Amino acid sequence: MTKQPPFDPYALLVALDRERVSYVVVGGFARVVNGSGETTRGLDIVPSLREENLRRLARALEQLEAPVNGGQLASADPVTASTRAGELRIVPEPWGTRGYDDLRRRAGRENLGRGLRPAVASAVDCVRMLEASEREVDADRLVRLRRMMELERQLVPERGLGIEI
């Protein structure tokens, strides 16, 4: 059994940004950035599927020593890449969405430190993805995320996250 490299989201994000990849962070990492108390061991992204962007993504994956070829990236299927900085999951069209263009509208540029400001899926879109999931583990995540949003709405009512709980 091979040992999984330690998860280093900064190294993953730096490689993507260095190659100017257009993407939106989704999944557990996006929920954490939005305030969820869960933990994650990988980074999920939704890239723009434009040809030049997929070439830039392939270059970033090469830098990260991930054995992924361009044909896999052009597919509509999710791709999980084991990199030297941990797992990077490329999801062209997450559950309940229409992909990159759909998610980037509400995504926020979040300051994660070290000069990184990736586009991160909004809490509303995180809820939408969890609602569309059929995985049992996501039902609990959905309840917690909705509760977090409700508490935030009570504390900051003028923000208006725009989802009915």
**What is the per-residue pLDDT across 82-125, written as a single tens digit (0 to 9) for each?**
999 999 999 999 999 999 999 999 999 999 999 999 999 999 99
Distances (CA, A) of 117 to 55, 113, 125, 135: 22, 8, 18, 30
Q: Residue 2 domain-assigned?
A: no
Say what the pLDDT of residue 149 is.
82
Q: Residue 140 domain-assigned?
A: yes
Across all residues in the chain, what is the average pLDDT? 90
Domain that holds residue 57: 9-155
Q: Residue 163 domain-assigned?
A: no
Q: Residue 160 domain-assigned?
A: no
Say what the pLDDT of residue 4 is.
77
Q: Residue 3 domain-assigned?
A: no
**What is the rounded distance in angstroms from the CA atom of residue 112 to the CA atom of residue 43?**
14
Closest CA to 18 of 60, 77, 66: 60
Q: What is the pTM of this model?
A: 0.87
Say what the pLDDT of residue 78 is.
95
Q: Residue 162 domain-assigned?
A: no
The total of structural domains in the chain comes to 1
Which CATH number do you get for residue 113? 3.30.460.40
Say what the pLDDT of residue 163 is.
54
**What is the rounded distance in angstroms from the CA atom of residue 155 to the CA atom of residue 138?**
25
Q: Residue 161 domain-assigned?
A: no
Rounded mean pLDDT, 136-150: 86
Q: Residue 1 domain-assigned?
A: no
147's tokens: 């509760």
